[in-house]
Amino acid sequence: MKIVIIGPAGSGKGTMSDLIEDNYPAKHISSGSMFREEIRKNTPLGQQANSYISQGKLVPDDVTVALVKSRLSQDDCKDGYLLDGFPRSLVQAKAIEDLGINVVINLMVEEHLLVDRIVYRRLCENCKAIYNIKLNPLEDEEHCERCGGKLYQRSDDTYEKLMVRLESYAEETQPVVDYYRKKGIVYDVDAGQSVEDVYKQIDEILTKIMEEKSN
């Protein structure tokens, strides 16, 4: 199965992708994680990507497409994959038309929920645990409950940067949803609910598709 999961920042793409990967033959490929790894290694590609990401802007299409196609050519993707955070533009979607994407999960969330999820998100420097100091308040908002590591806010998680990201999403990525919808492969999901309820919707969609394929 070749799946694309689409949604604005804070819609739960990463969480849902991990759950799908655990239950279906689809390797989770996150463009964001790939970029963060390149940035951490301080590679030329990482430096190039960081100059955009740190301003809340999208990385140019040619850079992203090259990185993703290289990753999809690896052995762990041969039985299926799930693209998270890609394609983000019509150019990207058309650049991977030859891959034969057959399912697009469209996560839909109201803006005020996205603000709560993103602006109050904190990550642990040590163990990478993720917290939300508004939705799940901590006794100590500075330190990780698991390992005691220092908590930090990602540079693109501020309210101002989030607004830039949401504006970019509306301009760049909504046309991607429309493009795939014309192909009849978009499945809308109400992602403003609990993790369990959102995944239940996705699980029902994918189960039905797999059953139809096997008949």
Active-site residue list: 13, 88, 121, 154, 165
Q: 60: how many CB neighbours lie within 10 A of its CB?
A: 13
Give residues with Cβ within 8 angstroms of 10, minimum separation 6: 109, 113, 114, 115, 117, 118, 162
- DSSP E strands, the chain: 2-6, 27-30, 81-84, 103-108, 121-124, 130-132, 151-152, 186-190
Ramachandran angles phi, psi of 124, nearest 5°: -85, 130
Peptide bond into 44 cis (omega under 30): no
Tell me the C-alpha distance between 2 and 138, whole Å: 39
Integer-rounded Cα radius of gyration of the chain: 17
